[in-house]
Structures are given as C-alpha cells and as structure tokens.
Structure 1
Amino acid sequence: MTLRRWAALLPAIMLGTLFGTTVTPKQALAEFEIQESEVEKGETEVEYRGAVHWGFPGAEREEAEEDEEEGEGGGALDEEEEGEFVRQSHDIELQYGITERWLISTALSADEPLDEDFDVSSVEIELQYELIEREGNGIGLAFIGAYGFATRGGEADEIEFGPIVELGSGPLLLTTNTFFTSQVGDHRETDGLGFEYGWRAEYKVASRWGVGVEMFGEIEDLSNAGSFDDQAHSIGPTLFYNPGGEDDDIGGEGDDDDDEIGGPPELEFVFNIGVQFGLTDVTSDTALKFQGGIEF
C-alpha cells in the first residue's frame, strides 16, 4: 500500500478505533500541539502555543447549572447568555537537542478554567528519542516520555508516553502523535490509562508555505467507558509557514547540505495558525489556535 493511501486511510482508522472506546473526560483546554520526530544536536527552540476558545462545553454547562442551583458560581452561565463566553490557554516551551538522538524540553502551561482565574496549570519535563530519522520521502519515528507537575491544588500530576510517527511522500507529510497518559498522586481521578491523539496532514504549496488539516482528541480513562460524544474531539484547517524550507522539502525543514560551511546557527521563525471545530458535546464549539517558534 502506498504512503498516499495510508495518509488517506489513517484518519478513518483512528476514528473507527475511537468509536470503539469510551470514557467521560474532564474537559481540558488543549494547546493543539503536533510534535515532530526530528532531533538535531545543539539546536535550541523556544516555542509558544496558544488558543482562544468559544462555546460552552455541555459537560461544564451541567456542572455550572448545578453550582448555580446550590448558590455557587453562575458567572460563566451569565457570560454565555450574553455571548461573551471566551477562554484562553497558553504554553511556553524550551527544548534542546542534547545529542543526535535525544531531545529534552520543559513547558509551562496556563489556562482559564470555568469560573476560575487565569493561572499556571502545570509544568512539564519531557525526553524524546529519535529512533528512525526521516530524510525526505519515508518514515520517521520517535518516542517521548514526560512528567507533568500540577500547580493547582487538588489536581493530579500526569505521566505521558508514546510514539511520534511521520510519513513523507512528495509534497505530503502526515504526522501522528498517539500518547498514553496516567494520573499519579493523591488527587488522581482515573482508574487506568488515558489516551491522547493528534494527527496532521500537511501539503506543501510553496517553498515556505503549507496547508493542511489537524485533528485532536482525548480519552481520559480507557477503563471507564463512555460514548464518542462524551469524549473531546476537534478538527480543522491549518496554515503553515517555515522559512527554512527548500523547494524539495516536505512540509517542514530541509535536510542539511553536506557541503555547507560550519558556522553559528541561523535564527529562524516558524509558525502555524488554524481553527478547530468541536465535534462533541464536551468540546469547545470553536478554537483559534496559534503556534510559533524561534529556532537557533
């Protein structure tokens, strides 16, 4: 089977798998990150990811209504009725390639939960190992392991691990992140592993520009079943800009030229911007997402 056919079938396969699993998640304000498999020794990247969310997820609406009946909260419901219900989520990440295979990163996350003030929600430390390096057409494979420290009282820390897969064919690049999660500590609310996924199909339309589709989802507890509509899933279009791209690149940075003269690393800015549309009742109706990074 060709890479193009796999690229076309993979989203359908993933959706079919998700319909067969169930859980009721605690809605999170995702930063819509697709991690790439490439690791480059000595490269440093500072990255910002942010999103603005519109729409009141159904599960949170029910919780707010219960609080209002008990005489607690209610402000979010008033904002929704007035058409002013907007929330934000933000990530700032620093990553560094310590070898040709190993990458270390740390990220600070902040968001604005229902009826709470905007604040830092977690600090994460992550290691990534590149098992197969993708060069143009072909496959790239890496694995990550991360530990997230919850900074809000009453919330659990979280472990995350799983593969990053890239499939390149001509101007098309398909990237998938399929990660398992586990809450740890005294405040854990799940009985087993959780599952988070994200996939991106990017098509290069110019040397520095690409267009594509991204989809994200979360199953918070695989051992506690629920329907697809009880899970967080969203999908939408994205526009990509990468000044380091060459005419024969595939939706990302070009390969290093063997004859290139050594020198200080160049400063590059990359970004993507897109819209995500919620597919279920526990997902925000719409989210405008932005991701930008400085590499050197």
Structure 2
Amino acid sequence: MKNRGQMMKDIAGSRALVLAATVAAVCACVSCPALAGTKLYSPLVEEGALEIEQRGFVTSDSKSSLDDEQFYSASIGYGLTDYWFAEIGGEWVRDPGTGKTRFDATKWENRLEIIGDGSHFVDFGLLIEYLKGGSGQPDKFEFGPLIEKRIGNTVTRANLLFEREIGAGRDSGLGVEYGAGIHYEFSDEFYAGLEAFGSLGPVHDFKSSKDQEHRAGPVLGGAFELEGVPGEIKAEIGYLRGLTGATADDTVKWMLEYELEF
C-alpha cells in the first residue's frame, strides 16, 4: 500500500497533467491587454471558502489620454475543492477622456492549486479566466502561472499572465502581463508591502520599453471581524506610480472582500 508521501506525489502529478491539458486546449483555441491589471493572485485555495469581492482602480495624469481611467470589478467565488476556486463576476471600465463608464465583460475565473502543501520550494498554481465581452467588446482568455513563497512573516508572489482576445474587433497576438509583490504580515489583521504590475505587449512583437505599461508602489491591507456577523472582512488600498511615459503617473487601487467559510 502506498504511503502518504507517495499518494501526495501521485495526486500532484495527476493535477499537473490535467492542468497542462487544459492550458494546451486554451492556447489552441486562443492579444494584448487594454490595461495592465492591479490584482496579485495567490496560488493557494481554501475549500469551502465563499468570497464576495469588489475591487478597482482610478488613474491620474496630466495627459488626457491617460487621466481618469477607471476599472471596477464585482464578483462572488467559492472553493469547490481543496485545489479549485471558481469565481464569476462583472467588470466595468471608464476609458480616459470619455467621462462614461461602460460594462466591459462578464468573467468566469478559475484558480487551480497544483503545489500548496509546503513540500516544494514554492507554492504553485494556475489561473484560467474567460471573459465574455460587453456590447462591442471582444471575448478574452487569460491564463498563466501563480507563484508564492513564504519565509516567516514575509510572503512573496509573482504572476505571469497571458491574454488573447477572440471574436470581432480582437487584437492580434498573445499579450503578456505580470504582477509581483512582497508583503510583510505584522499580524493576522494587518500587512504592508510593495507591488508592481505591467504589460509588455504581444509576445511576437514586444513593445519598446517606453511604450510598455509599468507601475509600482506601496500597499496596505488587513482583515477584521464585526461583532455578531460571521466571517471576516478584508480590505486593501495601494498607490502605484507610473514608471514609463505610457503609464499614468498615479494609480490608486483598492479591494474590499467579505469571506465566509462553510
């Protein structure tokens, strides 16, 4: 009879095989992101966790082409198993200079934990997301690896995400975004850190460095409970400074989440 260590390796191997096949299928049927994301994903999944989340960002810049870009997302997700977290929600965008906020997409997001038991050098997972575009907007696939390393109270994360638009009005090529950050947890209720995000352009023809989007800055976050209310509320706010001429000078981002375990 197999020991526990061998069983864990077999399970991890089976997950990796299934996920590799999924990624291959996505790539086979699958542009460059319209804007660089500002969410840093963890590969870890908690079974039975219900999450209701609202997040977004707004930019400020002296150039009208970069000023007052806004993004809003509202979603609900659930840990279906100890390695699969599924989320559904909507996204709204205000393009710079328009003064109008439009519905951009309905999203179905899946976060898959491949290695998360602490037996390897890093915890590793995969994000697979499908976005159904709003009126006049193309559909999108987004996928890529999620990496996390914990040393004491310090947590380091890195995401490398690929995006391809499909349907009418799509861009050509496979776009690349990244996110990276390091957080120090002062307690279970409070953390602070630095994060960076960027968009490199299409894989087959990366933009010149001055035309790429890169932004970085500090974040503060924490969790708290309300008396008589089950679960906990998590909140985060961050300021990101643009590092290139193609990036807005100032970006303020936030996240508010209610989490309940079943």
SS in 2 for 1:229: helix
User: Offset at 1:197?
Assistant: 0.8
Runs of 5+ unmatched residues, structure 2 = 1-30
* Length, aligned pairs only: 226
Post-superposition CA distance 1:19-42 (Å, at most 9, x none)? xxxxx96752x5511111121122
Indicate which of 163, 174, 178 corresponds to 1:193.
Answer: 174
Q: CA deviation at 1:135?
A: 5.0
Provide runs of 4+ in structure 1 moved above 4 Å.
Answer: 24-27, 134-138
Q: How does 1:68-147 map to 2 (within 5 A)?
A: 85-116=67-98, 117-135=100-118, 139-147=122-130
Give the C-alpha shift of residue 138 in structure 1: 5.4
Partner of 1:270: 234
Q: Distance in 2 between matches of 1:266 and 1:166?
A: 28
Indicate which of 17, 37, 48 corresponds to 2:54. 48
Instruction: Please state how far the C-alpha of 1:273 moved relative to its aligned partner.
Output: 0.8
1:96, CA displacement in angstroms?
A: 0.7
SS at match of 1:34: coil
Distance in 1 separating the partners of 2:119 and 2:238 = 25
User: In terms of Rg, which structure is larger?
Assistant: 1
Identity of aligned residues (%): 26
Structure 1 residues 223-232 or 284-293, which shifts more? 223-232
- Find the aligned partners of 2:141 and 2:218 in 1 and give their Cα distance: 29
Residue 227 of structure 1 corresponds to: 208
**Ranges in structure 1 where 5+ consecutive residues have no aligned partner:** 1-23, 62-84, 245-264
Pairwise CA RMSD:
2.4
Structure 2 SS opposite 1:223: helix
Structure 2 distance, partners of 1:169, 1:92, is 32
**One-letter code of the match for 1:36?**
S
Q: Is the CA contact 1:200–1:215 (under 8 Å) kept in the aligned structure 2?
A: yes
Q: Does 1:208 align with 2:208?
A: no
Offset at 1:275? Answer: 0.2
TM value normalised by structure 2: 0.79
What is the distance in 2 between the residues matched to 1:106 and 1:44? 12
Report the alpha carbon displacement of residue 186 of structure 1 after superposing the two structures with TM.
Answer: 2.3
- Deviation of 1:268 (Å): 0.7
Q: Which residue of 1 aligns with 2:256?
A: 292
Amino acid at match of 1:110: W
For normalisation by structure 1, the TM-score amounts to: 0.70
The amino acid that maps onto 1:139 is V
Instruction: Check the 8 A contact 2:52/2:77 in 1, yes or no.
Output: yes
**CA shift digits 1:33-54 (9 cap, x unpaired):** 1111121122110011121210
Seen in structure 2, the aligned counterparts of structure 1 residues 149 and 288 have a Cα distance that, compared at 3 Å, is same
8 Å Cα contact 1:138/1:168 also seen in 2: no
